[in-house]
Amino acid sequence: MSFPLLTATAALPAVGAIATAAVPAARRTAAKWMALLFSLATLVAALVVVFRFDPDKVVNSPADRYQLAESHAWIADFGVRYELGVDGIGAALLGLTALLVPFVVLAGWHDADPEDDGKSKESVATGRWRPTQGFFALILMVEAMVILSFLATDVFLFYILFEAMLIPMYFLIGGFGDKAGAHGEKEAATQRSYAAVKFLLYNLVGGLIMLAAVIGLYVVGGTFSLTEIAEARAAGNFEMATNTERLLFLGFFFAFAVKAPLWPLHTWLPNAMGEATAPVAVLITAVVDKVGTFAMLRFCLQLFPNASEWATPVILALALVSIVYGALLAVGQRDIKRLIAYASISHFGFIIMGIFAMTSQGQSGATLYMVNHGISTAALMLVAGFLITRRGSRLIADYGGVQKVAPILAGTFLVGSLATLSLPGLAPFVSEFLVLVGTFARYPVVGIIATVGIVLGALYTLVLYQRTMTGPVKENVRTMPDLRVRELAVVAPLIALLIFLGVYPKPVTDLVNPAVDQTLSDVQKQDPEPEVEAAK
């Protein structure tokens, strides 16, 4: 038996979480370094997985689809197995997660420091426990579970992780704020608490419905293993009544749509991202939410191909609403972080539209979109976090003229904004255009309506930039320091990646394309031929 590389990759952050939590209370800095080191080690492990993975391996049987596979009996009397494996889509998202967490850790370096002003007893974050250790341990915990969920090929294992990651996320949202509440710490704590509970309940409800569907799937198929189900289907031994398939599909899809989030199940996200600290907000939207869209690709389409097709019109309509509605709401926000949250809702609309367009451009584009959105949102949100920490306010109206006093901060914020509006030359353009063209090829009207997002995206990002960064320098902004070395170390690599993947996205598309072709063959779809070819 070979070395369990995938387990090791997921275990590294989990071990890191325990190690970080175990650091004595007084040695906060050591805990931070511990967390950073483990997140970097995870990145190395993830890169090994990505490079060991052979995207062009010929798939002869369903078992070949997932590489570096591991399989052990877990809950034997119920057929639940600990089964891992990685395909191109999973590899891309594994890479994204492992890449972003070190930046999240570094960006949140001081977010969980206890306050030194003697009033620490009032602070929720500095109550009875060790907030710094806890903060970083929770981040690593989330990373471990997210990574494992990208690797799980057993439906039940995936479900457990899908639900379990809510727990550390809940504490991260509810326990740590950015001390920028407009009405004092007490009010802020209430808001945080509301946001955390809303996050938890929305996702728990989604999860419960999914649980019912998971059980239903077992009743129908007698197994939780993706591979076994695919083998049974290939051999013609896997029959599902049309209605059963549709119900099960809806059960899965609902949970993923809450997490993604898709309109109208999106309202928890602005609360959560608004109240959480910027690094945690990045963790939510750039990492955890991706499990939702990833799961649509892996579970909804693979397990329920016919039902997926049946539901496509409605899902495309909801995705379109998300795109336009999210962007319009972003325009109307007064709070920087909520604005970015609504922008994310718009972007998730694009991702879901790409998935259900059922074309190779749409789905490769959607996967690439997940990666690029992760990087661009991280860049924008983390710089926004640095900004908010300096001024102690999330309100756009409290800023103005920042570029005059902090040109590097303003410059990086602008690059993040340009990435968010999908400027050609930066990574998100590639994925957004692929999604658009992939959708247009099958559903021209949907594709054309979605192009409205091109204008609205520019509107909310540039309005945000204009109001915060340009104009006369506001009073409280005057003494604002520019980015520090640590902060620059967070932002500069992200920007470099945005440019690199904008010019040369081929490494990611090469990784993803074969897996997408597999998914398309699951749903028995082929790309529409160009008119000129079709005529011949």
Partner 1 sequence: MENLIALLVAAPLLGAAVLLCGGRRLDRVGHVIGTALAFASFGIAVGLFVDMLGRSTEDRSLHQHLFSWIPVGGFQADIAFQLDQLSMTFVLLITGVGSLIHVYSMGYMEHDERRRRFFAYLNLFLAAMLILVIADNYLLLYVGWEGVGLASYLLIGFWQHKPSAATAAKKAFLVNRVGDIGLSIAIMLMFTTFGTFAFGGVLEATGETGEGKLTAIGLMLLLAACGKSAQVPLQSWLGDAMEGPTPVSALIHAATMVTAGVYLIVRSGTIFNAAPDAQLAVVIVGAVTLLFGAIVGCAKDDIKKALAGSTMSQIGYMIMAAGLGPIGYAFAIMHLVTHGFFKAGLFLGAGSVMHGMNDEVDMRKYGGLRKYMPVTFVTFGLGYLAIIGFPGLSGFWSKDKIIEAAFAYDDGIRGWIFGGVALLGAGITAFYMTRVMIMTFFGEKRWQPDAAGNEPHPHESPKSMTIPMIVLAFGSVFAGGLFSLNEAFVKWLEPVTEFHHPHPVISVPAITASTVVVLLLGAGLAYLQYGRRPVPVTPPKGSLLTRAARRDLLQDDFNHVVLVRGGEHLTRSLVYVDHSLVDGVVNGTAAGFGGLSGRLRRLQNGFARSYAVSMFGGTAILIAATLLMRAV
CB within 8 Å of 80: residues ≥ 6 apart: 74, 154, 156, 157, 224
Q: Is 129 helix (H, G, I), strand (E, B) or coil?
A: coil
Query: Which of 109, 159 has the CB closer to partner 1?
Result: 159
**Which segment (12-20, 24-32, 196-204, 247-255) binds partner 1 by CB under 8 A?**
196-204
- Dihedral sign for Cα 316, 85, 287, 271, please: positive
Report d(CA 199, CA 271) in Å as an integer. Answer: 8
Site residues for partner 1, 252-271, by CB under 8 A, read 263-265, 267
| Binder of partner 1 out of 317, 459, 488, 489 (CB under 8 A) | 459
Q: Does 272 bind partner 1 (CB under 8 A)?
A: no
Query: Which of 40, 208 has the CB closer to partner 1?
Result: 208
Site residues for partner 1, 393-432, by CB under 8 A, read 401, 403-404, 411, 418, 423-425, 429-430
Query: Which of 147, 435 has the CB closer to partner 1?
Result: 435
| Binder of partner 1 out of 136, 158, 171, 399 (CB under 8 A) | 171
| Binder of partner 1 out of 175, 221, 279, 514 (CB under 8 A) | 175
| Binder of partner 1 out of 71, 193, 244, 306 (CB under 8 A) | 193
Shortest gap between Cβ of 348 and partner 1 (angstroms)? 15
| Binder of partner 1 out of 55, 108, 274, 365 (CB under 8 A) | 365
Q: Does 344 bind partner 1 (CB under 8 A)?
A: no
Q: Which two tokens stand for residue 426?
A: 């930066």
Shortest gap between Cβ of 37 and partner 1 (angstroms)? 29
- Neighbour-count burial of 80, counting CB atoms closer than 10 A to its CB (0-12 exposed, 13-18 middle, 19+ buried): buried
| Binder of partner 1 out of 29, 61, 120, 466 (CB under 8 A) | 466
- Neighbour-count burial of 264, counting CB atoms closer than 10 A to its CB (0-12 exposed, 13-18 middle, 19+ buried): exposed
| Binder of partner 1 out of 29, 61, 120, 470 (CB under 8 A) | 470
Report d(CA 415, CA 376) in Å as an integer. Answer: 9
SS (H, E, C) 374-397: HHHHHHHHHHHHHHHHHHCCCEHH
| Binder of partner 1 out of 19, 37, 59, 463 (CB under 8 A) | 463
Query: Which of 48, 458 has the CB closer to partner 1?
Result: 458
Q: How many residues bind partner 1 (CB under 8 A)?
A: 94
Shortest gap between Cβ of 107 and partner 1 (angstroms)? 21
Query: Which of 38, 274 has the CB closer to partner 1?
Result: 274
Which amino acid, one-letter code, is at 320? L
Q: Does 194 bind partner 1 (CB under 8 A)?
A: yes
Query: Which of 170, 294 has the CB closer to partner 1?
Result: 170
Site residues for partner 1, 205-244, by CB under 8 A, read 205, 208, 211, 215
Site residues for partner 1, 277-336, by CB under 8 A, read 325, 328-329, 331-333
CA angle 473, 475, 480 (to 5 degrees): 75
Shortest gap between Cβ of 331 and partner 1 (angstroms)? 5
Q: What are phi and psi of 276, to 5 degrees?
A: -70, 160
Q: What are phi and psi of 305, to 5 degrees?
A: -60, -40
Query: Which of 28, 266 has the CB closer to partner 1?
Result: 266
Report d(CA 99, CA 351) in Å as an integer. Answer: 20
Q: Around 103, how many Cα atoms within 13 Å sit in the side-chain half-sphere?
A: 33
| Binder of partner 1 out of 69, 197, 220, 489 (CB under 8 A) | 197
Q: Does 24 bind partner 1 (CB under 8 A)?
A: no
Shortest gap between Cβ of 399 and partner 1 (angstroms)? 13
Q: Of the candidates 359, 387, 380, 384, which has an alpha carbon nearest to the alpha carbon of residue 301?
A: 359
What is the residue whose two structure tokens read 């504490």? 171
Query: Which of 6, 366 has the CB closer to partner 1?
Result: 366
| Binder of partner 1 out of 34, 440, 490, 515 (CB under 8 A) | 440
Query: Which of 307, 329 has the CB closer to partner 1?
Result: 329
**Which segment (41-49, 135-143, 376-384, 527-535) binds partner 1 by CB under 8 A?**
527-535
| Binder of partner 1 out of 8, 232, 437, 488 (CB under 8 A) | 437
Secondary structure letter of residue 55 according to DSSP: T
The gap between the terminal CA atoms of the chain, to the nearest Å, is 53
Rg of the Cα atoms in the chain: 22
Q: What are phi and psi of 528, to 5 degrees?
A: -60, 140
Which amino acid, one-letter code, is at 188? A
Shortest gap between Cβ of 531 and partner 1 (angstroms)? 5
Q: Does 441 bind partner 1 (CB under 8 A)?
A: yes
Q: Of the candidates 480, 309, 470, 335, which has an alpha carbon nearest to the alpha carbon of residue 397?
A: 335
Query: Which of 101, 315 has the CB closer to partner 1?
Result: 315
**Which segment (49-57, 58-66, 75-83, 95-103) binds partner 1 by CB under 8 A?**
75-83
Distance of alpha carbon 20 from the chain centroid: 24
Q: By rule CB under 8 A, what string of x and - marks binding of each residue 47-66 to partner 1?
A: --------------------
Which amino acid, one-letter code, is at 200? L
Q: Which two tokens stand for residue 109?
A: 């370096």
Shortest gap between Cβ of 364 and partner 1 (angstroms)? 5
DSSP 56-97: T----SGGGGSEEEEEEEEEGGGTEEEEEEE-HHHHHHHHHH
Q: Does 140 bind partner 1 (CB under 8 A)?
A: no
SS (H, E, C) 277-291: CHHHHHHHHHHHHHH
